A and B are shown apart, each in its own frame.
Chain A
């Protein structure tokens, strides 16, 4: 009997040894793996005990504050809805997104570059205090953009072409970030995707707004001048297919700058083939297409623009026949662009061909009051020669003064822009307008896109751009 009892005890000991081995595996072997699982929200919940840094607008007003309730901090939004898709959320249930995710280490005071005080606090085991982040976003302009989009689906991006600062980033439809957790289920299943940050995640056919890129390519490679003559018969037959104009229009003899003013597809199709696939794609790359714009946001929240196939972004070397090149030169075919990328196109022209790195952080101020990070504008790309940029600047002014974009004209401010209208084949259009102003000393660059409209870019998007530009230029200071 004792032998049997001992055996049972040995079996018991083996089982307990298995428990300890398994426990070691969980707590020591794979602890980090468990911590990194997306289902694990413990990290976020723990950080609710830290006073999360405020997110401020460029004017110093609080966009997202931190309110204490029984030992835990919660976000509040004293100005209501201000760029919620860009700011992102910080939720125990749904995780983090946007700037809240990207700058989390700063906002929770855990970043290693928050200065000596934060190191001392950590060594002493004190709870860190979040650093506040001042954005380049100007709340007044942002609100103007949101009002402009109200009731529609689309996006507006406003940049300072001189330094790349993001002045406004509006996405519609939108939502109230204050009760995101309660509204999550309808918001996340809504077919109009209110949670999507359209300025950086919305991929749209750029249509004629893309002609700015084609024009830059043609002028820069010396294939055309603003005065190069073309004849439009309403149809450009190429490689067994044809390129036609919007609404079946026929313009007859025209020069290249007139072709931009009235957005003549046949001329741009021809210019596309004069330039050729390689140079056109190369110009696109010099504007930032085919790479993810370096706006610091979490993985997947900024999408690259370029030609897309069924499996996503195509290689820049992918084959195109001359018909495809002609349509791509008109911003059709398989070309897709984000509103941010199109704003960067306008900004590149405005800034003499130099495309600045887009950014949204003006400065980060540690809880101690020390400025630990300050915006340092950097050049990103050179899209074209300065002479090309000034030729294109003049051509884009003509679009607003006498062409398809007259609705964007402003009293006393010369606006330069380009319309775009992409027909979606179901009777609705995608309306685009990209612009910068004032033309002789550009301070703002903008891209506006409206989905599901019956109107053209000149009708639906240009007036919104005008209103936002006016608001931006009326600000006492811009980043």
Chain B
């Protein structure tokens, strides 16, 4: 008998839970040389949160993809474990953020229930996304040279993480609506067929926005992410490669301007090209990251057994628990483990794109593909950055990095993907009862 989607999910959650518990116990034992009740209680709370999310999905979105939630749990557990490993006090905070994120996940699922509703609010979503970014530019404080944070009510929020979701929803709705107009060329410029000029509006708005992010927020990573999301969605909506070429060219121009004008971005670029002359200054963080990763070897030292903290309890790489958490993971679980973690991200991305391919309507397709793309690219930008494949930019590793905004926003992203997949599966193969329920919701 084939397992139902929810039982597959439960099975994999149990596996993810077991793996996470072992990792956590390993760290705990490495730290305190014993395993006691406290360590087990923390583990149980974590398992409990994901079990509740599973129950919610079981009742509200029974046909949703069964792999996304276990993947999320596994990544979050690795992140929490490693944060606890590096700074135990922060792990508690991160655990609380996970709870908040789970709460928002529940709210999203219950309030939205069917993502098709969001299509109607696309301009509101666009406005929210834009507003969050403008607010960051106006109200934000500068940390590590980049302006990413808003401090309010004793919390630090990174609005761009949420803006990412809002913008994807807006673009999915808008581009789905305009895709026919955007794909019909009305005239030629230098032999290149182009659609009517007025439909280029959003492209230019997006370009100006990412340029503003580069110059005012000095945040190359987020700018690249937003521009890429836009270009990728334009391409997926119209299947016209000209947008990719145009968008890529425009972003390259913006990046060139930023490298020339913004010293912070320039430093990052120089350090990427050749970090060695800056080994004690701007290149310190990147080189320490590479040293820490290289030190992991094939198998790594084991969770809780790598050399990640100096004698004064300072991490070997500044920002190890946030942007550079992958260096800590690679050090402790080695090449095999780190490559495994990367494959888990690929798996997540694959599920997302698979949902998009199977989705019955354009909006669902663009929404799922956009979310999966945003998730995957964000992962690539930070992993490529800490391994010197691409210039380093401060951006979080989804589910793993320390940071409330990141984990909360990404849990909402999972909720949205689950909704799309539930609808897709119901439309394709669901029972009459399920179809009727779905229709009632809309």
Contact assessment for A24 and B335 in the assembled complex, using a CB-CB cutoff below 8 Å: yes
Q: Which of B362-416 contact A (CB under 8 A)?
A: 362, 365, 369, 372-373, 376-377, 380, 383-384, 387-389
- Is B93 at the interface (CB under 8 A from chain A)? no
Contact flags A250-288 to B (C-beta < 8 A → 1, else 0): 000000000000000000000000000000000000000
Residues of chain B within 8 A (CB-CB) of A35 are 291, 294-295
Contact assessment for A1 and B389 in the assembled complex, using a CB-CB cutoff below 8 Å: no
Partner among B330, B369, B388, B389 whose Cβ is within 8 Å of the Cβ of A5 = B369
Residues of chain A within 8 A (CB-CB) of B334 are 27
Please give the distance in Å from A50's CB to the nearest CB on chain B: 12
Residues of chain A within 8 A (CB-CB) of B343 are 20
- Is A23 at the interface (CB under 8 A from chain B)? yes
Contact assessment for B310 and A45 in the assembled complex, using a CB-CB cutoff below 8 Å: yes
The dominant DSSP class at the B interface is helix
Number of A-B contacts (CB under 8 A): 125
> Within the assembled complex, what's the spacing in Å between the Cα atoms of A193 and B313?
33
- Is A249 at the interface (CB under 8 A from chain B)? no
Of all chain B residues, the one with the shortest Cβ separation from A8 is B232
Contact assessment for A20 and B342 in the assembled complex, using a CB-CB cutoff below 8 Å: yes
Residues of chain B within 8 A (CB-CB) of A33 are 294
Contact assessment for A19 and B293 in the assembled complex, using a CB-CB cutoff below 8 Å: no
> Within the assembled complex, what's the spacing in Å between the Cα atoms of A48 and B343?
35
- Is A308 at the interface (CB under 8 A from chain B)? no
> Within the assembled complex, what's the spacing in Å between the Cα atoms of A3 and B311?
54
Residues of chain B within 8 A (CB-CB) of A294 are none
User: Beyond A22-B387, A26-B290, is A48–B311 a contact (Cβ under 8 Å)?
Assistant: yes
> Within the assembled complex, what's the spacing in Å between the Cα atoms of A28 and B297?
6
Indicate the size class of the contact surface on chain B: 35 or more
Contact assessment for A34 and B350 in the assembled complex, using a CB-CB cutoff below 8 Å: no
Contact flags A25-43 to B (C-beta < 8 A → 1, else 0): 0111011011101011010
> Within the assembled complex, what's the spacing in Å between the Cα atoms of A205 and B140?
65
> Within the assembled complex, what's the spacing in Å between the Cα atoms of A92 and B307?
13
Contact assessment for B311 and A5 in the assembled complex, using a CB-CB cutoff below 8 Å: no
Q: What's the tally of chain A residues with a CB closer than 8 Å to chain B?
A: 39
Residues of chain B within 8 A (CB-CB) of A27 are 293-294, 296-298, 330, 334-335, 338
Please give the distance in Å from B271's CB to the nearest CB on chain A: 13
Partner among B239, B294, B389 whose Cβ is within 8 Å of the Cβ of A30 = B294
Q: Which of B309-360 contact A (CB under 8 A)?
A: 310-311, 316, 330, 334-335, 338-339, 342-343, 345-346, 349-350, 353, 356-357
Contact assessment for B357 and A26 in the assembled complex, using a CB-CB cutoff below 8 Å: no
Q: Which of A215-241 contact B (CB under 8 A)?
A: none
- Is B107 at the interface (CB under 8 A from chain A)? no
Contact assessment for B294 and A31 in the assembled complex, using a CB-CB cutoff below 8 Å: yes
Partner among A8, A18, A42 whose Cβ is within 8 Å of the Cβ of B295 = A42
> Within the assembled complex, what's the spacing in Å between the Cα atoms of A42 and B290?
11
Contact assessment for B353 and A4 in the assembled complex, using a CB-CB cutoff below 8 Å: no
User: Beyond A23-B339, A35-B294, is A9–B350 a contact (Cβ under 8 Å)?
Assistant: yes
Please give the distance in Å from A407's CB to the nearest CB on chain B: 49
Residues of chain A within 8 A (CB-CB) of B295 are 31, 34-35, 42
Residues of chain B within 8 A (CB-CB) of A16 are 342, 345-346, 349, 376, 380
- Most central of A15, A22, A34, A40 by chain B CB within 10 Å: A15
Partner among A6, A23, A71 whose Cβ is within 8 Å of the Cβ of B342 = A23
- Is A70 at the interface (CB under 8 A from chain B)? yes
User: Beyond A8-B236, A19-B383, is A45–B294 a contact (Cβ under 8 Å)?
Assistant: no
- Is A77 at the interface (CB under 8 A from chain B)? no
- Is B287 at the interface (CB under 8 A from chain A)? yes
- Is A2 at the interface (CB under 8 A from chain B)? yes
User: Beyond A24-B335, A27-B298, A28-B335, is A34–B291 a contact (Cβ under 8 Å)?
Assistant: yes
Contact assessment for A31 and B235 in the assembled complex, using a CB-CB cutoff below 8 Å: no
Please give the distance in Å from B425's CB to the nearest CB on chain A: 17
Please give the distance in Å from A346's CB to the nearest CB on chain B: 44
Residues of chain B within 8 A (CB-CB) of A74 are 311
User: Beyond A1-B362, A42-B292, is A19–B380 a contact (Cβ under 8 Å)?
Assistant: yes
> Within the assembled complex, what's the spacing in Å between the Cα atoms of A37 and B346?
33
Partner among B291, B292, B316, B376 whose Cβ is within 8 Å of the Cβ of A37 = B291
Contact assessment for B279 and A39 in the assembled complex, using a CB-CB cutoff below 8 Å: yes
Partner among B237, B276, B294, B342 whose Cβ is within 8 Å of the Cβ of A26 = B294
Of all chain B residues, the one with the shortest Cβ separation from A2 is B357
- Is A120 at the interface (CB under 8 A from chain B)? no
Residues of chain A within 8 A (CB-CB) of B377 are 12
9 A-B pairs closest in CB distance: A34-B294, A72-B311, A27-B335, A9-B353, A39-B279, A4-B236, A4-B239, A40-B291, A31-B294
Residues of B within 8 A of A (CB): 232, 235-237, 239, 276, 279-280, 287, 290-298, 307, 310-311, 316, 330, 334-335, 338-339, 342-343, 345-346, 349-350, 353, 356-357, 362, 365, 369, 372-373, 376-377, 380, 383-384, 387-389
Residues of A within 8 A of B (CB): 1-6, 8-9, 12-13, 15-16, 18-20, 22-24, 26-28, 30-31, 33-35, 37, 39-40, 42, 45-46, 48, 69-72, 74, 92
| 15 examples of A-B residue contacts, CB within 8 angstroms | A12-B373, A12-B377, A16-B376, A23-B387, A26-B293, A31-B294, A31-B297, A34-B291, A34-B294, A42-B295, A45-B307, A69-B311, A70-B311, A71-B311, A72-B311
